[in-house]
Structure 1
Amino acid sequence: MLNKFEDLFRTVRNLHSVTDLLKSMGEKTENVFDIEDNFRGSAQMKACVERVKSIPEAHALMEARYLGPEIDLETLLKLPLGTLGHTYATVMKTLDFDPNFFRQREIETDEDWVTMRLRKTHDIFHVLTGFGPTGGELGVLSIQAVQIGYPMCVMMQVASFGLALKRQPEKLSYITQQAARGMAMALEMQPLIAQCWEDGWDKPMQQWRTELNITDPVIDEPYSLKNRLPGLELAW
């Protein structure tokens, strides 16, 4: 009975956080961390961890509790044009994003590691897939929903569809297409959580995409950053 009440309270908290986030058009990013923290210890998060463990490379990173060093954008900007590090740093600097802004959590369990690793690398996923950080959020969330069933991502998918259907039906086509493209990419590409990006900052973007089997990055959609960031043509 206690577990049922815990699940009910968790659902209520998450629905409140999701609604608040979507009403703010994604600006209240603290709500994302609230949703992730609310899933801590849940059956859904345990199932996600098991899926991550089934990926040998990801399991190795998990066992090592690998998060990598703090990201230094100035150092990454010194890398050659077209590399992952230079492209990522250029995007983050242009948008005035702090790569270390995410909420911290002590890593006591495997699920803590999954959450913290995804928080740290989230914007890398945006850069590699082409789903721009300012408008392609659902595309990236859809990738993690498909590849490892990350609960927050699954919940945001469902909530985005529901809110658009009820309050912004004119945006439903855009939202569903973005999610569909992200899910399709997820089925084709290698698991993103299994990658040690920090060992390949100096690797060209195209090489990363080839190795990950990202054959159709989003570069010509409204939520791509290609046309907003002069000088990144070689990377895209």
Structure 2
Amino acid sequence: MSRLDRDAYTRMFALDGTVLLHPDRPAARYRPLRAVKSFQALIKDKEDTSLVFKIFELLPSSGFMDRVTDLALSQRGELLRATEPCLPEILDDHAALRRTPKGSLAHAYCDFMESEGLSAAGLVAEAERLGRPKYPDLVQWFIERSRDTHDLFHILTGYGRDALGEQCVLLFTHGQAPSQGHLLIGYAGAANIKKMVKGSAAPVIGAVREAHRTGKGAPQLMAQSIRELLVRPLADVRAEMRIPDPAQYRECHRIWQAEGIDPYNLLAGQPVEQELLAA
């Protein structure tokens, strides 16, 4: 439960006068059945990222406003809003990021985003496909900063954009900022993966549990100065964030490859009846 009632949050302000919770922002509604339906749709169309955002909206966290308050109204939060008002502009400036030392988080980030054909602006566009109104409050800043740091999790944790890697990133994120949306997509998605590769010895559940534990033990990424992290050696940032090598995830990939299964296309080479089961 939140520490305060809704009206109290609408009377709290940052030093520049930005309200914590805009009074016109609709109260979050908990709708688990709709969330399950959206998850089922996501299973059928894994590229529809907008469904992920929708699931999070349908399963609001009871402690969300307290987390917003603790960061946004803190001295650190005030500094982050002043120095990093728009993370996509920073993250999509690959020319500037490439001027950092070799081996930096910035170089690893550029390598990842360019190889995957991704951009921070692209993730913003996916979120805006939902057509949700924006409000001039600190909740908006918190939501957008959480969204904009998502792809950095892939680089810091070592989880790829394969099906299992995405579930692991979501459960790592739950460890950082608890939400039933992360739990639903992460664990139900892992169960679906096990169904797709029925009979495989890969420790799928062990991998997502490992990611969950790592996320709980790591400092909150969105509370860090992203500018400062980007210029530092990736290995140093991982050590400071207490993020170890994802051993169980790597073991899943090793076993799948030995079994003739492509981790990035789990249905490839599977029997026809297996494909139907996973649909």
Q: Aligning the two structures, in what range does the TM-score lie when normalised by the shorter sequence?
A: 0.7 to 0.9
> Structure 1 counterpart of 2:105, which letter?
L
Q: Evaluate the alpha carbon distance shift between residue 67 and residue 217 of structure 1 in structure 2; reply closer, same or farther with a 3 A threshold.
A: farther
Q: What is the CA-CA distance between 1:99 and the residue it aligns to?
A: 2.1
Task: Give the Cα separation in 2 of the matches to 1:19 and 1:13.
Answer: 10
Instruction: Give the AA of the match of 2:63.
Output: A
Contact 1:17 1:31 in 2 (8 A): yes
Q: Which of 205, 217, 221 lines up with 2:234 in the alignment? A: 205
Alignment partner, residue 3 of structure 1:
none
SS of residue matched to 1:100 = helix
2:185 corresponds to: 156
Note the C-alpha offset of 1:183.
1.4
Structure 1's 34 and 13: CA in aligned 2 closer, same or farther, altered over 3 A?
same
8 Å Cα contact 2:88-2:121 kept in structure 1? no
Give distance in 2, aligned partners of 1:161 and 1:69. Answer: 30
User: Which structure would you say has the larger RCO, counting Cα contacts within 8 Å and 6 or more residues apart?
Assistant: 1
1:184 to 210, 213, 227: 213
CA distance in 2, matches of 1:139, 1:111: 26
Distance 1:80 1:53, change over 3 A: same
CA shift at 1:16, angstroms? Answer: 1.6
Deviation at 1:203, TM superposition (A): 1.0
Aligned partner of 2:170 in structure 1 is 141
**Amino acid across the alignment from 1:129:** T
Residue type at the aligned position of 2:65: V
Question: How far does the alpha carbon of each residue in 1:63-112 deviate from its partner, in whole angstroms, 9 at most, with x for none?
Answer: 76944351212332332221011110011101111221122463544443
Aligned residue pairs total: 211
Report the Cα distance in structure 2 between the residues aligned to 1:174 and 1:28, rounded to whole angstroms: 27
1:19 and 2:40 aligned: yes
* CA displacement 1:122-156 (0-9 Å, x = unmatched): 01011011111234111111112122203421221
Structure 1 residue 54: Cα displacement: 4.3
Q: Contact 2:194–2:204 (CA<8 Å) still a contact in 1?
A: no
- Residue segments in structure 1 that go unaligned for 5+ positions in a row: 1-5, 225-236
Q: Is the 8 A contact 2:80 2:225 kept in 1?
A: no
Which amino acid is 1:189 matched to?
Answer: A
CA distance in 1, matches of 2:144, 2:253: 25
Instruction: Confirm or deny that 1:127 pairs with 2:171.
Output: no
| TM-score, normalising length: structure 1 | 0.73
Structure 2: give runs of 5+ residues left out of the alignment.
1-28, 255-279
1:33 and 2:50 are equivalent in the alignment: no
Q: Which amino acid aligns with 1:32?
A: V
Q: Structure 1 counterpart of 2:95, which letter?
A: E
The equivalent residue for 2:113 is 92
Work out whether 1:196 is the aligned partner of 2:229: no
Q: Report the aligned-residue RMSD.
A: 3.2
2:94, 2:212 → 1: CA distance? 30
Whichever residue aligns with residue 49 of structure 1, its letter is M
Match of 1:231 in 2: none
